[in-house]
Amino acid sequence: MPKRMSKTLAAEIADRAMAVVNPANRGLTLGAALQRHGFAAASLPSDDRLADRSAIIAWLIETYTTP
């Protein structure tokens, strides 16, 4: 059974990613945070989705809560 992500954790990971100024490095931070919390690696969203906190949260919930 795949691991499911809560909305609170998605917001925490998005906040951590948004703290990184360089959008290219946000993907690295996002990937590291997902791995740290035990989530399988997924293809990361495009740089334009990484520019907005709410878009990151929506992507995380969509990717890690659907079966």
Q: How confident is the model at residue 67 (pLDDT cuts 50, 70, 90)?
A: low
Question: Model pTM?
Answer: 0.85
The crossing angle, in degrees rounded to 10, of helices 7-18 and 23-36 is: 140
Structural domain harbouring 45: 7-65
Classify residue 29: in a domain, yes or no.
yes
Classify residue 47: in a domain, yes or no.
yes
Structural domains counted in the chain: 1
9 in Cβ contact with 16 (< 8 Å): no
Classify residue 32: in a domain, yes or no.
yes
Classify residue 1: in a domain, yes or no.
no
pLDDT digit string (tens) for 8-48? 999 999 999 999 988 778 888 998 999 999 998 778 777 67
Classify residue 54: in a domain, yes or no.
yes
Classify residue 2: in a domain, yes or no.
no
pLDDT at 23: 78
Take residue 58 and report the two structure tokens written for it: 């929506």
Take residue 31 and report the two structure tokens written for it: 């990937």
